[in-house]
Structure 1
Amino acid sequence: MFLLSYHLDAAHLVVELGETVDLDNETAIEREITRLLPCCGPHAVIVHVRTPLLTPRALGLLLRVRDRSWERGVSLAVVAGHETARQVLGAAGLNRVLRVASTLPGAESRSRGCRPETEASRSRNPGDRQRAPLSARAPRGPLGPYSDASRPRFPGER
């Protein structure tokens, strides 16, 4: 299996996925992308999905590659140029997880924003987090004219 890959700039490596991922080629594609993941080179890898069909195997593959890239301190973004592929990623709830963009410049800008967490910040206890001041937190309880649905509402009544 050979995947087309190239450097967008010094910090971004682009790997093109031009075929549908299925049972026959899933392990070969995953092995190839993992082999291309840098250990100390670019800070971001962009997987450019060129096929409109994203199978469940492709989604699993992208998530596994994302986990492996985070282990190496490399962020991952996905370019889905076809509307169908973006709809599948959105329906699976992976837009934010995989940093999905519709264009290569969009994925480049999304990959610049956040670097993967370090091991020290991941091993922190939840109690160690800083809390927002009370004034900045959302108020408790329902808000708005329709928040208490147990009472009937009549026109003109508040």
Structure 2
Amino acid sequence: VERMEVLEEVTLPGESKDENFARAEEKAVKAIQKHSMNIGGKEYNPQMDEAYLLLGKARYFDQRFVPAIEAFNYILYKYPASNKINQAKIWREKTNIRLENDELAIKNLKRLLDQEELSSQDLADATSMLAQAYINTKSLDSAITQLE
């Protein structure tokens, strides 16, 4: 469902496989460092969840999946009322699928689809990733059901 070739080459900390994603990560980190207004444990800048989402996506596409999942989990932990929460959940499960945690991704995506009112784009993303997880676990009938 998602076409991204995972490269097996090892990169050292501080190195990037693609300079564009490294630049996106730098921009997200810079935005977080300069504009975060975390006072008394409460964030007062409503754009920070978007910066963390950008950070997670940049790390995901740079194939640094563990740091990516940390960024998505941070959004889920710190910004539970965010309008980006469903996107963060979907991206976390995309990352779990890349980390071969297919069963966990299936459980979380099914819960998301059952409990949340999703936009059409989020619904399409969630069902396609659920189908991908089913394909990875060789449950082709379940995958076909998701894609219909």
TM-score, normalised via structure 2 length? 0.31
TM-score (norm 1): 0.30
Q: Which structure carries more helix by proportion?
A: 2
Q: Which has the higher strand share?
A: 1
Q: Rg larger in 1 or in 2?
A: 1
